[in-house]
Each structure stands twice: as structure tokens, then as C-alpha cells.
Amino acid sequence: MPIIKILPHAEYCPQGAELSAPAGTSICEALLEHHINIEHACEMSCACTTCHVIVREGFESLAPSEEDEDDLLDQAWGLQPN
């Protein structure tokens, strides 16, 4: 089962965390299931980008983004290539 390491974030996860999630689970779903309550304004219907995260390691293990996702991310605040 994939392991997701969450770096400390003052608002969402001050101590950091390490969690496992079944393959195919979105990072947003995994965080919410472990009570790390990141914003998700459209309830994960891919319409808002408030749930976007920065992946520091393991980016290559993720499915490639789709064109609609890239178009939405172009409007996201604090966007980084990863």
C-alpha cells in the first residue's frame, strides 16, 4: 500500500504525518480520511483546485495529469510544477 508522508504545515498538519492509502486513492481522499482537512471546495469534482498539493518526492509514481486538470491548475494560487 502506498505511503504518503505529509510535511509539517502550520495550518493543516503541524506535526506532519505518515499515512498509507490503497493504490488509486487520491491524495485529497487519503488526507481527509486521516483527518487532515485540506480545503476541497467542490467536494473533489475537479472544478476548483482548492485541494491542490505539492509533491516533493514520488511524483513519478502518480498518474499523468489530464488536460482539464492542467487547465484548472493554471488558475491555482501558489502553483508549482510538482
- Which of 4, 36, 44 has its CA nearest to residue 21? 4
Binder of ligand FES out of 5, 16, 37, 42 (CB under 6 A): 42
d(CA 50, CA 42): 8
Question: Alpha helices, DSSP H only, in the chain?
Answer: 27-33, 67-73
Binder of ligand FES out of 41, 54, 62, 79 (CB under 6 A): 41
Q: Is 76 in the site for ligand FES (CB under 6 A)?
A: no
- Judged by CB under 6 A, which stretch of 6-14, 17-25, 39-47, 57-65 contacts ligand FES? 39-47
The minimum distance between CB 15 and ligand FES, in angstroms, equals 24
How buried is residue 36: exposed, middle or buried, by Cβ count under 10 Å (0-12/13-18/19+)? middle
Q: Is 51 in the site for ligand FES (CB under 6 A)?
A: yes
**Which spans of this chain sit near ligand FES (rule: CB under 6 A)?**
28, 40-42, 44, 46-51
